[in-house]
Chain A
Amino acid sequence: MSATTTTERPAPRRGTPPPRTPSTRKRALGLDRDAWFLLLPALLPILVLSVGPLLYGLSLAFTDAQAGRTEPTQWIGLDNFASLRFDSLFWDSFRVGLVWAVSVTALQFLLALGLALLLNQNLRFRWLARTLALVPWAMPEVVIGIMWRLVYHRDAGILNSTLRDLQLISENVNWLSSLSLALPAVIVVGVWAGMPQTTVVLLAGLQNVPHELHEAAALDGAGTWRRFRAVTWPALKPVVLAITSLNFIWNFNSFGLVYVLTQGGPGGETRLPMLFAYEEAFRYGQFGYAAAMGMVMIAVIAVLLTVFLRNRLKEADQ
């Protein structure tokens, strides 16, 4: 499909790696024609359908944009950010959001690592186990929410009835409406829903751990834990950093599940910041204010990620 682009080019000298080929070709922004040819099919839709709307969305943060066409929009500079500073409800939800994102990400990682290690063993029915492990991924979010609401149901839920049968509780528990249990309960659902991606990525990382090193360490008499520390972990670390940082962003930004489960209740205990921004924009029509929230969230996540990934970034710079 690219035959036309192959003509009229000086033959590269022997031994020159492709990225450093002649400077005679026309370049734009450091890329030659071939590179643009490869990039454009992705860049065009991204520019039009993602970068454009995104920049537009960001610019709203400096306006008083509202839903409806009766009131003109004006630039108001940093007013939205000034109001946001004193919006204690928003900062409360920020706290909830951090607890949620950190716990979900951490638990997701730990549980997924365990599962990935197991699925990496040569067990029977591994294909079935791998498929079933992806079940949460296959279910639409609305259905997940409704399912878990049924599981947690106080009077008719399978959870309470199982715990009762095991005699672990004597009275039915209000999982989703008790002030202290609601957040842990939704965190469990969050972990459940996000495990497949993490497991799959970690499993993939595990397959790349050099087998010879493992055997050599085993011959040296190293125990399971030592082998994990010395051989598996170093090979796995880049994957772990990559997937946990992405997971953290996703978790911080998710609210659909929690919305179906609790609508942010009880008493605002599960009001995630993104739910806050969503309501600000879609319920109250305050687009400008919601965009300001979005920018603050980007800033905070970016700072947290920089701290989390500081070593990795340093390595990359060198």
Chain B
Amino acid sequence: MRRRNFLATALAAAPAASLLSGCGDDGDDGTLDYLSLAWQKESMEANKALVAEWNKRNPQRPVRYVQGSWDSVHDQLLTSFEGGEAPDVIHDEANDLTDFAHGGYLADLGELLPDGLRNQIPERTWDMVRFGGGTYGVPFLQEPRVLVANRRLLDDSGVRVPDTEDPWTWDEFEAAARKLSGKGSYGVAWSMKEPVNQSVNLSLTTGGAVFYREDGKDVVRFDRRDSYVAELIHRQVNRERTAPRGSLGMSGSDTLPGFFSGQYAMVPLNFSYRQQVEQQAPDGFEWTALPMPAGDLGPGSGPTQGMSPQTLSIAQDTKRKEDAMAFIAFLTQPDHMARLAAGDWIVPTGRKALRDPALNTRKHDWRTGIGMSEDLRASPVLGVRGYAEWKDKIATPAFQEYYSGSIGLDDLRGKLVEDGNRILARYQR
């Protein structure tokens, strides 16, 4: 913390410092802090059990389980990084790592990774955590977006039920939504409280990316392949009325009551939401998880989705990086990874974990997510400096206005590209 030295020295000189020391315990008491964001009962239990197991096997390098929350993890990490008091092993999401890695707070894992772990996870998944020439996390869990559908309405409508071998095309999806719509009910409810990640990640199905690298710089483009899915959603809400305007301001879980009551036949949700669906569904309600539609705009399009996986990282300030890495390797060895994935109702990244019998079952449509794992690619937004600002200031309001029909495609493109590139340029001087 070079620039804060003047403050620090001024205060270190205060005589009170010596009087007050001893009230706080020193961070480096030989224990590694593991900040975990597990929050559902089963995954919390799985995490704690694994930590206990590690501690039993490695009494000389104990790990302490520290509970964090997705809601506040970024602020918590930023403050503790700046203050030099960060946890040693950090559970987070790839999207959140960009700025921390750039700021020099995360250790480059390149040299530390044991071969077993490196080979276990496919290259396309490692791409999700590589930016600026380093590897800043171990991607261990990922969740594709799926269409959770009302089984009865689906069967009654007579539409073809897709699977991962043969997903719908976007056209088929649009037609199915039409068939599933009726008086006072809608074929699909798009939850667009956070519209940006979804819109960008789904653009990969039609060969788009929104974020491109040109001459070593990140730029935004929003051409036909990038905007195809967004246009479709806009059409469903504003022209065909097969999707309700009312759900646009909702988060994923907000759409569930309407889904259970039959108002919405399908809801695009992250894979882990199945747990909530299973818990809250009324007795006798049958649901199924379908793969998201695939693009058919020729080469480059298909069932591919952009992904920002959950990660385990090591703080740069940690003195015992080898121990931290050993602990991460322990958490992500195939059987453990599968256990964590099962606890979170989410897809693991490791090849062996993906074959775990507990996950390869028809129950709760686990197979849909497992089957989609091959089609998950690094989200184009990963590693883009300034993405957060672009998203909050430009893209979120612009997409919200576009989907609700108050601006048209040209306006949307203008905002995303022109205003957007101005913001990105500031970060890449």
Partners in one complex: yes
A153 an interface residue at 8 Å Cβ cutoff?
yes
The answer for the CA separation of A21 and B388 in the assembled complex, in Å, is 62
Task: Report the bound CA distance from A178 to B249 in whole Å.
Answer: 8
Smallest Cβ-Cβ distance to A285: which chain B residue: B99
Q: Is the CB of B11 within 8 A of A155?
A: no
Whether the Cβ atoms of B2 and A72 lie closer than 8 Å is yes
Q: 1/0 per residue B253-267: CB within 8 Å of A? A: 011011001010000
- Considering only residues 90-126 of chain A, those with a C-beta below 8 Å from chain B are none
**Cβ of A213 under 8 Å from chain B:** no
1/0 per residue A263-307: CB within 8 Å of B?
Answer: 111111000000000010011110000000000000000000000
- Number of A-B residue pairs at CB separation under 8 A: 97
B257 touches A156 (CB 8 A): yes
Query: B7–A68 contact, CB under 8 A?
Result: no
Q: How far is the CB of B397 from chain A (nearest CB, A)?
A: 4
Q: What is the minimal beta-carbon distance from A140 to any residue of chain B, in angstroms?
A: 13
From A48, A66, A179, A265, give the contact of B11 (CB < 8 A).
Answer: A48
**Does A267 lie within 8 Å of B401, measured CB to CB?**
yes
Contact A155 B261 (CB under 8 A): yes
A177 at the interface (CB under 8 A from B): yes
The answer to the question of B392 belonging to the interface, with a C-beta cut-off of 8 Å to chain A, is: yes
Check A89–B103 contact: CB distance below 8 A.
no
0/1 interface trace, chain B 77-106, chain A, CB 8 Å (1 if under): 010011000000000000000011011110
Interface assignment of A206: CB less than 8 Å from any CB of chain B: no
Beyond A266-B397, A285-B103, is A72–B261 a contact (Cβ under 8 Å)?
Answer: no
Whether A70 touches B102, Cβ cut-off 8 Å, given contacts A155-B263, A179-B406, A283-B74, is yes
Q: How far is the CB of B13 from chain A (nearest CB, A)?
A: 12
A242 within 8 A of B: no
B25 at the interface (CB under 8 A from A): no
Residue contact B104 to A68, C-beta cutoff 8 Å: yes
A68 x B102 contact (CB < 8 A): yes
**A172 contact set on B, CB distance < 8 A:** 246
Instruction: Decide if A67 touches B254 in the complex (CB within 8 Å).
Output: no
Residues of A within 8 A of B7 (CB): 52, 56
Is A191 at the interface (CB under 8 A from chain B)?
Answer: no
Q: Do A154 and B246 touch across chains, with their CB atoms under 8 A apart?
A: yes
- Count class of interface residues, chain A: 35 or more
B396 touches A68 (CB 8 A): no
Contact assessment for A174 and B246 in the assembled complex, using a CB-CB cutoff below 8 Å: yes
Residues 391-408 of B at the A interface (beta carbon under 8 Å): 392-393, 396-397, 400-401, 404, 406
Q: Which residue in chain B gives the minimum CB-CB distance to A268?
A: B397
Bound-state CA distance A66–B397 (Å) is 25
* Contact, CB under 8 Å: B400 / A69: no
Number of interface residues of B (CB under 8 A): 42
Residues of B within 8 A of A142 (CB): 71
Q: Shortest CB–CB separation between residue A183 and chain B, in angstroms?
A: 13
Cβ of B75 < 8 Å from any Cβ of A?
Answer: yes
Please determine whether A153 and B393 come into contact, CB atoms closer than 8 angstroms: no
Residues of chain B within 8 A of A63, CB atoms compared? 3
The listed residue (B249, B261, B397) touching A174 by CB distance below 8 A is B249
Question: What per-residue 1/0 map shows which CB atoms of B106-123 lie under 8 Å from chain A?
Answer: 000000000000000000
Most B CB contacts (10 A, CB to CB) among A56, A155, A284, A285 go to A155
Given A48-B14, A56-B7; A263-B2 close (CB under 8 Å): no
Interface residues as binary, B238-276 with A (CB distance below 8 Å gives 1, 0 otherwise): 000000011111100011011001010000000000000
CA distance A142 to B393 in the complex (A): 24
Asked if A176 is an interface residue, CB under 8 A from chain B, the answer is yes
- Residues of chain A contacted by B418 (CB below 8 angstroms): none
Does B137 interact with chain A (Cβ within 8 Å)? no
Does B343 make an interface contact (CB < 8 A)? no
Give the chain B neighbours of A285 by CB distance below 8 A: 78, 99, 103
Interface string of A2-22 (1 = CB under 8 A from B): 000000000000000000000
Interface status of A73 (Cβ within 8 A of chain B): yes
A277 CB to nearest chain B CB (Å) = 13
Chain A residue numbers with a CB within 8 Å of B75 are 282
Q: Closest A-chain residue to B10, C-beta based?
A: A52
A residues near B249, Cβ cutoff 8 Å: 154, 174, 176-178, 265-266
Please report the C-alpha to C-alpha distance between residue A264 and residue B103 in the assembled complex, in whole angstroms: 27
Bound together, the chains give a CA A52 to CA B245 distance in angstroms of: 50
B423 to chain A, nearest CB (A): 9
Task: Please indicate the chain B residues that have their CB under 8 angstroms from the CB of A155 in the complex.
Answer: 246, 254-255, 257-258, 261, 263
Partner of A282 from the list B74, B105, B248, B404 (CB cut-off 8 Å) is B74
A263 to B74, CA, bound (A): 15
Bound CA–CA A239/B62 (angstroms): 57
Cβ < 8 Å to B, chain A residues 25-71: 48, 52, 56, 63, 65-70
C-alpha spacing A266/B400, complex, angstroms: 7
Question: What's the minimum C-beta distance from A58 to chain B, rounded to whole angstroms?
Answer: 13
B396:A265 contact, CB within 8 angstroms? yes
> Mask for B4-27, Cβ within 8 A of A = 1, else 0?
000100010010000000000000
Asked if B1 and A67 make an inter-chain contact with CB atoms under 8 angstroms apart, the answer reads no
Contacting residue for A70 out of B78, B103, B389, CB 8 A: B103
Give the docked Cα–Cα distance between A265 and B2 (Å).
37
Partner of A69 from B1, B14, B247, B386 at Cβ < 8 Å: B1
Check B193 for interface membership: any CB of A closer than 8 A.
yes
Once the chains bind, are A267 and B400 in contact (CB under 8 Å)? yes
A17 to chain B, nearest CB (A): 36
> What's the minimum C-beta distance from A42 to chain B, rounded to whole angstroms?
15
Residues of B within 8 A of A156 (CB): 257-258
- In whole angstroms, what is the CA distance A154 to B104 when docked? 44
**Complex A-B, nearest 4 residue pairs according to Cβ-Cβ distance, in ascending order:** A177-B249, A68-B103, A156-B257, A73-B3
14 sample A-B contacts, Cβ–Cβ < 8 Å, listed by A number = A65-B3, A68-B104, A70-B102, A70-B103, A154-B247, A154-B258, A155-B258, A156-B257, A177-B193, A264-B392, A266-B404, A282-B78, A284-B99, A285-B78
Residues of A with Cβ closer than 8 Å to B? 48, 52, 56, 63, 65-70, 72-73, 89, 142, 153-156, 172, 174, 176-179, 263-268, 279, 282-285
Given A70-B102, A265-B193, 8 extra CB contacts under 8 A: A65-B3, A67-B99, A68-B103, A154-B249, A155-B254, A177-B250, A179-B406, A284-B389
B-side interface residues toward A, CB under 8 Å? 1-3, 7, 11, 14, 71, 74-75, 78, 81-82, 99-100, 102-105, 193, 245-250, 254-255, 257-258, 261, 263, 386, 388-389, 392-393, 396-397, 400-401, 404, 406
